[in-house]
Structure 1
Amino acid sequence: MSRWLGQPSIKGSSEAMRMALLTFTTVGITFVWGVEQTYCTPYLLSLGLTKSRTSLVWIAGPLSGLIVQPIVGAIADSSKSRWGRRRPFIVIGAIISALCLLVLGFTKEIVGFFVSDEEAAKHLTVLAAVLSIYAVDFSINAVMSAARSLVVDTLPIEKQQTGSAWGSRMSAIGHGIAYGTGAIDLPSIFGTFLGETQFKQLTVIAALGLVATCGVTCWAVNERVLISVRHDARKEGGMLKVISQIWHTIVHLPPRIHAICMAQFWAWIGWFPFLFYSTTWIGETYFRYDVPHEAKDSGDALGEIGRVGSEAFLIYSVITFLGSWVLPMVIKSPDEKNYTQRPPESIKHVVERFSKYKPDLLTAWMCAHATFAAAMFFAPFATSFRFATLLVCICGLPWNIATWAPPAFLGVEVSKLSGGNASYRRLSDDPVEMADMNGSGPSLLHLEHGPDDTQGTKSSSTGELSGVYFGILNIYTTIPQFIGTILSTIIFNLLEPGKSPELAHDAHPDEHHSTDGPNAVAVCLFIGACSAVVAVFATRKLKYL
């Protein structure tokens, strides 16, 4: 039997503060993703890569998610570190990600320091930039895996919905900061202190932000310490045993968890091109239709595309931020029938009347797929960056649901499988008594796991295998990204086989550079819309399980 020491706790004097601290890591993670999604595609294009080759670079994201998240989740599940099962992975992953971000931002300077030959340095710069992107993706996926499991481990079943909603809010904040800073001319503010270009300064800020946000969450949360795992099976078998356990769990997924994973699969075939190429699409649409011809040779195409894309996504992030606060108020929790908060007596009747008309999260998730599909069907017909921006902004609320619904449903299911008997327990209203009982002061919220919990079971109420299940959900998130990468590579080769006509100035004359015809990224977004339609029906199956 598994044995545990201590009780999970979160610093903070209110539930909102505790939830914010628990999910604060998400701000730094999404900040990094926002910078990568906004600037790395045009950055690689500016180095001379074709769009088809650039699309192959983004296989780093799904590859890292496919490998890192399930394995890190499974290893962390059996970790006996005195700091807890998740926090060490968060800290180490954040430090590695930060260092790799700095290498990515200053790749030219680092390569130039070691290589003097200009032609050789050019090729090595491209190679170093690609490897840095891979390293960032691999390390930040470890952070994501541990951070998601930390929420499930720490919160009782009735708070899984709230924790997931707060994760969505923190994600919106992180994206808002990323797109906001990206839209600002940073060199005019900081000079050359953080680097002489916009991209360099963003990588420095993102690296510092990731370490800071991860540090705050690790400081605020105390985990239960795993003393021993039942039979130590995974430890005895090593990595092969971990992989075997992951495969066995995938093959024998409970029906509802399998349905959640399939809905995520079809949805992410659509979301992948949107997240990685839409800022580039907006910038290229701007250069195609809105910029005077004489202004296209300004020499700062990378900065212009990045800033135009960031301005559009800044509006998008404001919508997602507002939605992350409003939507949880108007959507029923998956377990609201069992866990209903009691409103104040003065507004009890109003709240109860309003609750009758609230849609459930499953219905909202289906509507989100449909809305995203409707918007992206129009992508190939966008002939101005304003219309492209409008289509992107329409996807703001669907993205809220896309980041909120899958972990919320999965968190509930994992908690049910694990017994789900944890609940909040305030030790005392007397600060002195509280300090005496737990030695941590009155600002800690503890979780009560039952009298037999110190001995534990294979399925403890703290989600002993939450790392494995969330890793599997990420597999169903990353496989569509492989599919999206292959599709986008084919489309880019067919429609835009040469270097980016908006960014490349040193290409061979025989290369294709026409901006006539459909934009290749827009076609990828259209195909993603078709997949989102399938996701509607895949999600609907959850109603009957």
Structure 2
Amino acid sequence: MEKRKLSFWEIWNMSFGFLGIQFGFALQNANTSRIFETLGAETDKLAVYWLAAPITGFVVQPIIGYLSDRTWTRLGRRRPYFLIGAILASIALLMMPNSPTLWMAVGTLWIMDSSINISMEPFRAFVGDNLPDNQRTLGFAMQSFFIGIGAVVGSALPWVFTNVIGISNTASEGVIPPSVKWSFYIGGFVFFLAVLWTVLKSKEYTPEELEAFEKAKQDRYPN
């Protein structure tokens, strides 16, 4: 018994959510320092506020990886985490440029980074779960493609709003510019819709099927 070979578009669908994940990461990385400074952060303290990224990655990723390996629901094994993370991250993206105070913006960064990691970590295992060995390279390459597209478009979005559409990139003191706000609004919707596409268009094997695949593999390659 072997895993079914998936078509190009099936692999496209199961990887598409990474476009939204990286879109959110790119907006966060490119604009959060500016938001902090607008709300009164001192430049020499920005590194302290950014501790959210390495700490949440260090803590959240192994926990989510452990839990998703042991989760089985009607929605599947990995997809519940895709969806929960996308909902929380999208809300955080909508909240971030509307934070009234610095401490709320910092708290939102922690929520956003944790939520992005909740979605992202199971995506890596999704390839191993669903693809036969000879298609995994294509699966990871497809994820890398969407990571690149999301990073470029997400990082450039405020510039596009300002220089192409004509939305202002400046605002009064203590106010986030409209170009940044709209970028985060678009980012929230892109994140959620891209991940939702993968959730709705992809399927997962049942525990019994995965166990059968593993047993067949062991029978072919006994120790």
What TM-score range do you get, normalising by the shorter chain? 0.7 to 0.9
Of residues 18, 24, 27, the one that matches 2:16 is 24
1:152 to 128, 135, 149: 128
What aligned pairs does 1:179-194 form with structure 2 within 5 A after superposition? 179-186=155-162, 189=165
Map of 2:40 onto structure 1: 48
One-letter amino acid of the counterpart of residue 105, structure 1: P
Counterpart pick for 2:28 among 6, 22, 36 = 36
Paired AA for residue 26 in structure 1: F
8 Å contact from structure 2 (residues 35, 97) kept in 1? no
Partner of 1:66: 58
Q: Which sections of structure 2, spanning at least 5 residues, go unmatched?
A: 169-175, 219-223
Match of 1:77 in 2: 69
Offset, 1:187: 9.6
Q: Could you tell me which runs of 5 or more consecutive residues in structure 1 were left unpaired when the two chains were aligned.
A: 1-6, 109-124, 228-447, 461-545
| Aligned amino acid, residue 127 of structure 1 | W
Q: Which has the higher contact order (CA 8 A, sep 6+)?
A: 2
Paired residue for 1:222, among 195, 203, 209?
203
Q: Deviations for 1:49-83, whole angstroms, at most 9, x for unmatched residues?
A: 12332111211111111111111111110112121
| 1:54-453 alignment, distance < 5 Å | 54-108=46-100, 125-186=101-162, 189=165, 197-226=178-207, 453=212
Paired with 2:178 and 2:141, the residues of 1 have a C-alpha distance of: 36
User: Helix, strand or coil: the match of 2:94?
Assistant: helix
Aligned partner of 1:219: which letter? L
- Aligned-residue CA RMSD (Å): 2.7
Work out the CA distance in 2 between the residues paired with 1:132 and 1:186. Answer: 25
* Structure 1 residues 387-425: Cα deviation after superposition (integer angstroms, max 9, x where no partner): xxxxxxxxxxxxxxxxxxxxxxxxxxxxxxxxxxxxxxx
- Tell whether the 8 Å contact from 2:90 to 2:188 is kept in structure 1 after alignment: yes
Structure 2 CA distance, aligned partners of 1:164 and 1:188? Answer: 33
| Distance in 2, Cα, partners of 1:131 & 1:190 | 31
Matched residue type, 1:181 = L
Q: Distance in 1 between matches of 2:31 and 2:102?
A: 15
Helix, strand or coil at the partner of 2:207: strand
Decide whether aligned partners of structure 1 residues 9 and 78 sit closer, same or farther in structure 2, where only a CA change above 3 A counts. Answer: farther
Q: Give me the whole-angstrom Cα distance separating, in 2, the residues matched to 1:191 and 1:46.
A: 18
Amino acid corresponding to residue 77 of structure 1 in structure 2:
D
Distance 2:34 2:52 in 1: 16
CA contact (8 A) 2:5 2:135 kept: no
For 2:186 and 2:115, locate their aligned partners in 1 and report how far apart those are by CA, in whole Å.
Answer: 17
**Structure 1 residue 130 displacement after superposition:** 0.2
1:19 CA displacement: 2.3
Q: Displacement of 1:9 after TM fit?
A: 8.2
Most deviating of 70-79 and 39-48:
39-48
State the shift of 1:42 in Å.
Answer: 2.0
Count of aligned positions = 208
TM-score by length of 2: 0.84
